[in-house]
A = this chain, B = another copy of it.
Amino acid sequence: MPTPISQLGEFGLINHLTQNVFLVNKSSIKGIGDDGAVIDNRDKLTVVSTDLLAEGIHFDLMYSPLKHLGYKAVVVNLSDIYAMNATPRQIMVSMALSSRFPVEALEELYEGILTACRLYKVDLVGGDTSSSRSGLFLSLTAIGDAHPDEIVYRNTAKVGDLICVSGNLGAAYLGLQLLEREKQLFLEDSNIAPDLENQNYLVGRQLKPEARYDIIALLKRHNIQPSAMIDVSDGLSSDLLHICHQSKVGCRIFEDDIPLHPDTYQMAFKFNIIPSVCALSGGEDYELLFTVSPDRLAELEDMEAITIIGKIVPEEEGCKMITPSNNEHTLIAQGWNHMNN
């Protein structure tokens, strides 16, 4: 039988959920259990990022298992630290939840959180737990470090730089469309079993994304320091515009060069969406989008996990995508429109 949270109380609940939390980073001096966490960062800069996830806006518990949600919440937050070219060390997790969640549901959520912590070698060092009148809210803060000359901002792209992206884009968006479609069918007729077989890749990209620390490590091994960087959370268009606007530059990207997974192509056609639009406006890919000096072209071309999709141009030339038929489309920010709900 599910255990109501009220049976444990706040402190009992926190103790119960955090009993398996052990600190692994030398810089984690004090974790859960005091007014704050204490972090030793003597020779480095501290990098901090925070994300808030709201039920019905960022996730739907009808198709997002709590374990996956916990995992994704951590990954999304760490992705921001990597996008600064820093290494995440600690994380704090706050949540507000309505009484419909039993203790077992939170155990699942924490299992996902702690799995991500172990994999990415970050310490859970604190948080806050509260109830909400309705729905589940998760707020995470990640703390990382970097040497002062390692940190990469968004506002430092230079004219002539190559625009690069890791992995492929647009799959997470189509994974969401698939999950939404099956949900609607299920709501209309609960006898219909979800038809998500063979869609593991797209659905996995939506439900269980990874943060690209491997790309950060790859670039470091090759001694390549990006001139500007961001993670693709709102869609290529919106995130590239962040780099361009903050760096006071323009860009040209080539539609044909945007990396798409074969499943993304196929499913985009099934949904009657232009595949590149999934990449441009979809978001939630958590790939790294970065600019690099053109002298590193040859090395970057050899890296399978990285695709060069265009270059930085002077601001007055605008931010545009070139189609295979040589048409120019001005990029527009479209990613985030939760506020229209």
Contact for A133 among B8, B13, B50, B54, CB less than 8 A: B54
A71 proximal to B (CB < 8 A):
no
**Which stretch of A76-84, A271-279, A307-315 is in the interface?**
A76-84
Which B-chain residue is minimally distant from A228 (CB atoms)? B34
Complex contacts, A35 vs chain B, CB 8 Å: 49, 79-81, 83-84, 154, 229-231
A337 proximal to B (CB < 8 A):
yes
Q: Mark A141-180, 1 if CB is under 8 A from B, else 0.
A: 1111000100101110000000000000000000000000
Which B-chain residue is minimally distant from A98 (CB atoms)? B341
A55 proximal to B (CB < 8 A):
yes
Interface residues on A, range: 35 or more
Contact for A130 among B52, B90, B94, B144, CB less than 8 A: B52
Smallest beta-carbon distance A339→chain B, Å: 5
A209 proximal to B (CB < 8 A):
no
CB atoms of B45 and A40 under 8 A apart: yes
- Tell me which of A29, A37, A42, A139 has the highest count of chain B C-beta atoms within 10 A of its own C-beta: A139
CB atoms of A96 and B130 under 8 A apart: no
Complex contacts, A5 vs chain B, CB 8 Å: 339
Which B-chain residue is minimally distant from A55 (CB atoms)? B133
Complex contacts, A99 vs chain B, CB 8 Å: 339, 341
A134 proximal to B (CB < 8 A):
yes
CB atoms of A47 and B54 under 8 A apart: no
Q: Mark A36-60, 1 if CB is under 8 A from B, else 0.
A: 1111111111111111111111100
Within the oligomer, what is the number of copies of this chain? 2
Smallest beta-carbon distance A86→chain B, Å: 7
- Tell me which of A29, A34, A40, A128 has the highest count of chain B C-beta atoms within 10 A of its own C-beta: A34
Complex contacts, A57 vs chain B, CB 8 Å: 96, 130-133
A213 proximal to B (CB < 8 A):
no
Smallest beta-carbon distance A177→chain B, Å: 20
Bound-state CA distance A214–B58 (Å) is 41
Complex contacts, A40 vs chain B, CB 8 Å: 45-46, 148
Contact for A50 among B33, B128, B229, B341, CB less than 8 A: B128
CB atoms of A137 and B134 under 8 A apart: no
Which B-chain residue is minimally distant from A30 (CB atoms)? B153
Complex contacts, A56 vs chain B, CB 8 Å: 132-133
CB atoms of B128 and A337 under 8 A apart: no
Complex contacts, A340 vs chain B, CB 8 Å: 6
Bound-state CA distance A4–B83 (Å) is 32
Bound-state CA distance A185–B21 (Å) is 47
Which B-chain residue is minimally distant from A94 (CB atoms)? B52
Which B-chain residue is minimally distant from A99 (CB atoms)? B341
Report A's interface with B, CB cutoff 8 A: 5-6, 8-11, 13, 29-30, 33-58, 79-81, 83-84, 86, 90, 92, 94-96, 99, 125-135, 137, 139, 141-144, 148, 151, 153-155, 229-231, 246, 333, 336-341
User: What are 24 A-B residue pairs whose CB atoms fall within 8 Å in the complex?
Assistant: A6-B337, A10-B336, A34-B155, A35-B81, A42-B42, A42-B43, A48-B125, A48-B141, A49-B126, A50-B126, A50-B127, A51-B94, A52-B129, A53-B130, A54-B131, A57-B96, A57-B130, A57-B131, A94-B139, A132-B137, A133-B134, A133-B135, A133-B341, A139-B139
